[in-house]
Every structure is written in C-alpha cells, then in structure tokens.
Chain A
Amino acid sequence: MEETLKIIVLVKHVPDAQFDRHLTGEGNTTDRSESILSELDEYALEAALQLIEARGGEAAGHRVIALSMGPAGAVNAVKKSLQIGASEGVHLSDDALAGSDAAATSLALAAAIRHLGADTPADLIITGMASTDGETSLVPAQLAERLNLPQVTFASALELDGGKLSARRDGDTHADTVEAALPALVSVTDQINDPRYPNFKGIMAAKKKTITTLSLADIGVDPAQVGRSGSWTAVETAEPRPARTAGTIITDEGDAGIKLVEFLAAQKLL
C-alpha cells in the first residue's frame, strides 16, 4: 500500500503560441515577454490532482507540488498551478539559468527535485509531454537518467495501485502497457485527461498557498554548470522563416475538383 503521496509536477512558463514568437539576443534564446503556463503541463497537473483526489486529497495528507524553473515571470506558471489545485509551489529562479539547454535544465531541475525530497523523497515526478516552446521532449528522459528513476513517458492512461504504476504508451505501430515501481518519473500526453480550469474558489484558495523561491545556491548547483555557458549545445544562427502568404483562393462553382487537379499538374505534383 502507498501511504501519503508526494507528487512534484513540472510546469514551464512558455511564450503564448497565439502571438508571434521570437528568438532574441546573442544566444538566440526565446523571448518570454508574452508567456503562460505551458498548456501541455496542465495535463500533468490534472493527472497528479486526479491521483491524489482518488485517495482523499490533501485532507488525507497527499500533496502536489508545482515546480517551475525560469525567470521572474515564471512565478505566474506556479500561481496558475496553485489556482488549478496544486498544494504548494516552488519557483527555481536564478540569473545564471538563462539560456539553459535541455542538459542544463535537467541538471538544475534534478537538483531542485532532490532538494525538495531531502526529508521525504517524492513518489512521483510528473511532466508534460513536451514544452510548447522547446518541443524537444528531452527533459523528462534526462531527468529519469539523472535521478535514476524508472521512466514512464508519453503516458496516455495512468493507474497507481499499491506502489505500482501502470501506464499506456501509444507508438506509431503499437501500443504498450508499461509498469514500474514508485518512485518514478512520468510524462503524460494530451490524450490522458481533460484539464480543469481554475474556478473562483481555487483562485481565492491559491492566495493562501505557499510559493518557495529557490536559487542555485539553495539547491547546491554551481552556476557554471547551467545557463548558456553550462549548456552542451549552442544555437549559432536563427533566421525567421518568411511567413507563408496566401496564394490563389477560388470559390467552388461546380468544377473546383478539376481546378485542383489542374493546379497539381501545373506544380508537377501528379
């Protein structure tokens, strides 16, 4: 039997994809001025909340901790997570972190997770399937490697029973059932659930919840290991791709299918 669950959910503050997004500065890093909680991390938060609610929630001693690493604005991703229902929030923030690639990000997040587990180690780390800016899906696998935890990634269904985790993972040619013992690292897809929105009660309750700010010194990470200098990859050049422009638009007058084929033939696509 599992006793009280301690779940850390990783939430990232990312540029809102509804606006134009930019790479800026010497290191071609992402401009974070118009940012939000990554919508893919809402599925991770929802999965964590469902796991603890099925076991009596916070009243039964279960906890969901939302952890975000990022500049000052990233605290907004933590606040939103608290409004949605996380029990407490942690913001890892340090100027030296700017420009971290996946390797440096996973190094810092792994240290933060160890720090948060110093007294009671977390049973589960849950992440989104990808960040909507980096889109690499490298961080969850790298965290599993660094923390030496079973990796249960791209879960589209998740069950927990007596300290044993079972998940469904869909591939292109097959679907797998994956099992692991706790503690484990899980990433979830957007197929797993329908994330809830913060309601008025949640927004009011969030005001009373704690947000802890951690620096690199707090988690024992040397600033030289992270940021642009500590990263193992460097973006040398970044060119905006010319925006696609609309071509010919016609309205069907009974022969658009034939016009379509004529277009394909003219483009040598038949």
Chain B
Amino acid sequence: MREEEILRAVAEIMARLLERPDFSVTMQTKISSIAGWDSMRQVMFVLAIEEKFAIRLRNPEIGQLHSAGDAVRIIGARLG
C-alpha cells in the first residue's frame, strides 16, 4: 500500500472520529494540536487503525502516534 493511500485512510479515520468530514489532514498534522482530540479518541484511533489495516499495534508504536505522519509511517512499516 502506498503512503498516499495510507494517509488517505488515516485521514478518513481521523475525520470520522472528530465527526468533521471536512477535516483536513497532512503528514504534519499533530494530534496534540487537534481541538477535541482526547484520550478516548486516541484509543478509538488505535482501534480503528487496527481494524482497517488488520494489524495489532504494539505498545511502543501506540506511544509513538503523535501525528498523522507517525501513523502512516508505523502502518507502512507493519504492512511491509
């Protein structure tokens, strides 16, 4: 899966969790800068990634999810 495809999927997940279909996401989008992104959304984000990409994130990977770019990088690495 190409990086752009992963980013698009990650962006869709983030927009759905925020209930903001028009939410714009780039590789640089920092999770800590997103208004309304709380621990509940972070948990849902992890679970949604796991479901979408059929992977199980390890704890160090979960701890590194600080931006959309992180998610893309981690997913990309797991998908090989």
A and B held together in a complex: no
Interface residues of A (CB under 8 A from B): none
Interface residues of B (CB under 8 A from A): none
